[in-house]
Chain A
Amino acid sequence: MAERVVITGLGIISALGTGKDAHLTAFRASRSGITGVTHLKSVHADEFVLGEIKMSNDELSEKLGVPTGDNGYTRTTLLCLAAMDDLLQTTDLSLLRNEPFAFINANTVGGMSKMEDIYMDVIATGTDEKNNKYINTLDCAESTENVADHYGLKPIMATISTACSSSSNSLILGARMIKQGIVQRAICGGGDALSRFTLNGFYSLKNVDKKPCQPFDQNRGGLNLGEAAGYCLLESESSAKARGANIIAVLSGYANTNDAYHPTAPSPTGEGASRTMQQALDMAALAPEDIGYINAHGTATQNNDLSEGLAIQRVFGTNAPYFSSTKPFTGHTLAAAGVIEAIFGMWAMEEQMILPNLNFETRMEELGIQPVSSLMEHTPINHVLSNSFGFGGSNVSLIFSKA
C-alpha cells in the first residue's frame, strides 16, 4: 500500500487577513472580508463588492521586506510571497534547502493585475525600459519562479491552470509525486490577485452579484470575486514522523474528473461533480456518512449551486453532512480557492467547528438540503470534503482526515 500523504504546514493570505488567527477570529465573529473596492482601479469600483486584501502593493512589499514601488513583483507574486511567508512561520526553510522538493503553484491569469495597467505601452514598438521588468509577468509561471528565487530555493517547479480548480490540482500533483517517491515533500497551492480582466470577464458572463453573495440561496445573484494565496506543505507520513512534525491532517482522498459537458457551465444534473466526490470517497475508503463537513465550491452562481447541490444529494442523499460555502467570507478567489478552502476545512476539523455559509436565507426550491448558516462549535469532524469546480468542466474533490 502506498504511503500516506500528510499536511504539516499551512500558509494563507485572504481578505480575512494573514494566517490562522486572523481567519479563525473572522469565522467566529461571522465577519466577512467582502467590502467596497479600495485598490482595484475599475470604472465599476463603486458598483461592486470584492474580497480584496486590504493591503496595497507597497504595504505588502514592506511586510515582506522587499523594495516598494516598481520592484518587478506583480500583486499576484506579492500575495504568493505573503502566503509562503506565513507557511514558513512554522516550517524551517533549511528543510527545503537540503533535499529535492516540489513547489506546485497555480494561478489563472499570471500577473494580469499589473499587465492590464501597462499593456498598451508594452505592445507599442520601440524601447520601453520602464516596463521591461514586467514584460514576462503574464506567464503563469512568473509567480512560481519568483517565489522560489526569493527564498533561494531550487525545487522541481510546476504551475497549473485549470481555472477555479487550479490549486486543488496542485495538491493532487504534490501528493502523487510523494507517493511515487519523486520527492518526500511538496509545497502546493496557488494565488490570484484581483484584476479588471477577471472582474469584467465574469461580469460579461453575467455571473457577478453586486451585493454580498448568497451561496445555495434560492435568490442568489452570482459571485463576488476575491483575491488570496495559500500553500500547504505535503509530505510522506514517514518523513513527517521522522522529523517529529506536527501533522495537521492526512490527504486521504482526491479526484480530478471532467464534466465533458460545456465550456463554462457545469452539468445541470450534478452528474460530473457527484462522480468526482464519489471517486474521492472511494480512494479514501470512506462511506458518505463518514464525512463530517463539506466545504462546498458554492460560488453563488445559478449554475454552480444547482449543479453542486444536486451532486451532494446524489452522493449523500437528503441527509447530507453539514456543508457550507465560505465564499461569502473571502469572495471567489479563483486559482486560490481550492487551497484556501482546503485549509479552512482542515481548520474546521482541528477546531471541531462548522464554518457558516453567510447570507443564507432561503432554501433552493430544487434542493432538499441547505447549508449551515451560523457557526457551530463542538461538532465532531473526522473527515472533511472540499470541492473546487472550474471552467472547462474541471472538477476536483479533496478529502482530509484527522491524523
Chain B
Amino acid sequence: MKQPLYILSACSISPQHSYDMERFLNPVISSDDNKLYVTAPDYAKYISPVAIRRMSRMLKMGITAGMRSLEMAGIVTPDAIIIGTARGSVTDMENFLKDMISLKEEALTPTGFIQSTYNSVNGWLAMMTKSTRYNQTYVHRGFSLELCLLDAQMMLAEATGNKYLLAGGFDELTEEYFIIRDKIDYYKDEPVNSRTLLSHYDTKGSIGGEGAHFFTLSNDPNNATCAIHGIAMLQQPSSDALQQAIADMLEKNGITNDDIDVMMCGMNGDVRNKFLMDPLIAGCSTNTTIAAFKQLSGEYDTASGFGLWLVHYLFTHSSIPSDIIYKQGSSTSVKNVLLCNVTIACNVTLMLVTSS
C-alpha cells in the first residue's frame, strides 16, 4: 500500500461516551445482559426536526457521526462518501418485514423499506453535504469497514491534487437481531458483565454491541493525526498465516515487531478464536502494550471502527487509558499501532496506523 490514508478526524457513537470525547470512560458504561447499546448523542444537532421524526436510530447514528467527523476536519463537501455496514438499518428492515407479514401485504407505508436500503445513509450524507461525487456502500460482513477503507485508499492513489473523503462504518443491535444471532452462538450463553468479557475466554460467543464510526481521510498530511499504512483482510487464517500476514505488513513498512508500541486487539472472548489470539499475544514484543476494546464496544460486524477510533484517540491523547490495557509493554510513546480485529467467524483484519 503505497498511498497512506491520512486521518484528519474521527467521530464515534458507541456504548461509551466516545462522541463527547472529554467524558470518555468517565464513567465506563457496562452491562450485565450481554448487550451494549450506544450512548446516544443529541441527534438534533445535524438533522432537521422535519427529517428526524421519521428517521430510525441507525440513520440518525450514521448521519450524525458522518457530519460530525467532517465538521471536526473542517470539510464541508467531501470528494467521496464511502461506507461499510454489514446490515444497515436493521430496525427498518424488521419493521417493514413484520408489517408486511402481519398486515398480509396490505396498506404498507414505505418508510421502513426505503430506510432499510443499505445506502440510505450514503444518500442522506450526500444530500446534506451536497457531495455529488463518488458514493459507495460495502456490505460484506466483518470486512465491510475494511473494504470501505481499501476503496478510500485506492481513491487517493488515483487522485490528482488534495482529496478529502468521508469513510465510515456502522451496525445496529436490536432485540430481534440478538435472538437471531444467539441461535448460532454469536453471544455467550452465560450472562457476563461486559467489563469482564476477556476473562470469559473459555466459552463460545461474545457480547452484542453496536456503533457508528466515521473518519475524514486525505492524501494531504497537513493536520493529520495519524495515517493508515496497511490494510489486510484474512479469511479464516491459520495462526501461522496470521503471523505471516503481520510480518509481511511490518516488513513492507520497514518496521519490526519491537517497533509496535500498541497492539489494539479486537479480542471478543470467543473460545473459538483462542487458537489465533493466544499465539498472537505471546508473539508480541515486550515493548508492545496490548490494548483491547470489545469489552467497551461489544462485538458487531463493523466493531473495528471503534478500534480504529480508539487508535486515533491514542494519537490525540498522551496516555493509554487503563481500561483498555490488557498487558502493559515497555514502550513509552505511541508511534506505531497495529489494529488486529477478529470476528466470530474467525476472520481477521489488520491495520497499521502510524503517527505520520
Contact = CB atoms under 8 A, between A and B. Distances in A.
B82 to A, nearest CB: 10
Contact of B132 (A108, A128, A196, A258): A258
Given A158-B143, A162-B135, A204 B108 contact: yes
A177 B113 CA distance: 32
B76 interface: no
A105 B119 CA distance: 16
B127 interface: yes
B252 interface: no
Nearest to B86: A139
A45 to B, nearest CB: 10
B154 A196 contact: no
A160 B138 contact: yes
A264 B114 contact: yes
B273 to A, nearest CB: 17
B117 interface: yes
Contacts of A260: 126-127, 129-132
Nearest to A260: B126
Contact of B140 (A138, A159, A256): A159
B86 A392 contact: no
A79 interface: no
B113 A259 contact: no
A201 B81 CA distance: 26
Contact of A200 (B93, B100, B139): B100
Interface residues of B, number: 54
Interface in A244-276: 256-264, 272, 275
A56 interface: no
Given A204-B109, A263-B114, A264-B114, A141 B140 contact: yes
A176 B158 contact: yes
Contact of B113 (A119, A135, A205): A205
A140 B147 CA distance: 14
Contacts of A119: 97-98, 101
A263 to B, nearest CB: 5
A258 B81 CA distance: 10
A180 to B, nearest CB: 6
Contacts of A257: 132-135
B94 to A, nearest CB: 8
Contacts, number: 171
A151 interface: no
Contact of A162 (B101, B118, B183): B118
Given A140-B140, A160-B138, A204-B110, A392 B101 contact: no
B119 A163 contact: yes
A207 to B, nearest CB: 9
Given A158-B140, A161-B139, A391-B117, A135 B100 contact: no
B154 A177 contact: yes
A59 interface: no
Contact of B114 (A44, A161, A180, A391): A391
Contacts of A242: none
Which one of B130, B131, B141 has the greatest number of beta carbons of chain A within 10 Å?
A: B141
B59 to A, nearest CB: 10
Contacts of A197: 96-97, 100, 113
Contacts of B137: 160-162, 392
Contact of B127 (A128, A163, A262): A262
B126 A256 contact: no
B190 interface: no
A258 B110 contact: no
A42 B104 CA distance: 9
A5 to B, nearest CB: 14
Contacts of A173: 136, 151
Nearest to B88: A161
Contacts of B110: 201, 204-205
B122 A392 contact: yes
B133 A263 contact: no
B124 interface: yes
Contact of B136 (A122, A136, A157, A160): A160
A263 B101 contact: no
A123 B110 CA distance: 22
Interface string B50-87: 00000000000000000000000000000001000011
Interface in B291-320: none
A393 B118 contact: no
B180 A180 contact: no
B140 A263 contact: no
B221 interface: no
B157 A394 contact: no
Contacts of A42: 105
Interface string A370-403: 0000000000000000000011111000000000
A61 interface: no
B329 interface: no
A263 B124 CA distance: 7
A162 B113 contact: no
Given A162-B137, A197-B96, A258 B120 contact: no
A124 B98 CA distance: 13
Contact of B104 (A43, A127, A128, A157): A43
A287 interface: no
Nearest to A156: B233
B235 interface: yes
Contact of B131 (A112, A176, A258): A258
Nearest to A275: B132
Contacts of B134: 256-258
A201 B112 CA distance: 9
16 contacts: A43-B105, A116-B97, A125-B179, A132-B183, A139-B86, A139-B139, A159-B139, A180-B158, A201-B114, A202-B113, A256-B134, A256-B136, A257-B133, A258-B135, A262-B127, A392-B122
For the complex of A and B, the 10 pairs showing the least CB-CB separation, nearest first, are A392-B123, A201-B113, A161-B118, A392-B119, A140-B139, A258-B135, A204-B110, A159-B140, A258-B126, A204-B108
Given A119-B101, A120-B101, 8 more contacts: A108-B118, A128-B183, A141-B139, A162-B136, A196-B105, A201-B114, A256-B135, A392-B120
